[in-house]
């Protein structure tokens, strides 16, 4: 395929003003080599970008899991606070809530 391109480019090309241009095989080879190098570089950077996207997605998922954990813990703490403020004998309720939290954690 590349040899065909080189052969076509090495042939004389007629410009619109009638002048003839010719291309040296070495020049064309250099241009094609540079194109291939740039294509390789583009491929590398696309792979790098895709890797970074996957890393970002993993980070976002981790953040969402941790945020959900914080919200759940805040709910348990709110329940403990409610018992401490409104129940005369709050300790059994507090211990029950703590047990619920640990059971929740162990179930994960």
Q: What is the pLDDT of residue 47?
A: 96
**What is the pTM assigned to this prediction?**
0.53
DSSP 90: -
Distance CA 103, CA 105 (A): 5
Query: How confident is the model over 67-108, as pLDDT tens digits?
Result: 999 998 899 889 888 888 888 888 888 888 888 888 887 887
Q: Is the pLDDT of residue 12 over 80?
A: no
Confidence of residue 20 (pLDDT cuts 50, 70, 90): low
Q: What is the pLDDT of residue 45?
A: 95
Q: Is the pLDDT of residue 21 over 70?
A: no
In the chain, DSSP assigns E strands to 13-14, 20-21
Query: How confident is the model over 50-75, as pLDDT tens digits?
Result: 999 999 999 999 999 999 999 988 99
Residues 6+ apart with CB under 8 A from 73: 101
Q: Is the pLDDT of residue 18 over 60?
A: no
Distance CA 30, CA 16 (A): 26
Q: What is the pLDDT of residue 50?
A: 96
CB 54 within 8 Å of CB 42: no
CB 101 within 8 Å of CB 75: no
Write the Ramachandran bin of 33: left for phi over 0, alpha for psi from -120 to 50, otherwise beta.
Answer: alpha
């Amino acid at each position: 395929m590349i040899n065909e391109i080189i052969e076509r480019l090495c042939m004389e090309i007629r410009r619109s003003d009638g002048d003839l241009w010719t291309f040296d095989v070495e020049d064309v080879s250099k241009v094609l080599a540079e194109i291939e190098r740039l294509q390789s570089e583009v491929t590398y950077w696309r792979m790098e970008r895709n890797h970074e996207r996957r890393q970002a997605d993993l980070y976002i998922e981790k953040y969402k899991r941790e945020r959900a954990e914080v919200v759940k813990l805040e709910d348990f703490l709110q329940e403990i606070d409610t018992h401490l403020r409104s129940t005369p004998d709050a300790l059994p309720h507090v211990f029950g809530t703590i047990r619920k939290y640990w059971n929740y954690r162990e179930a994960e």
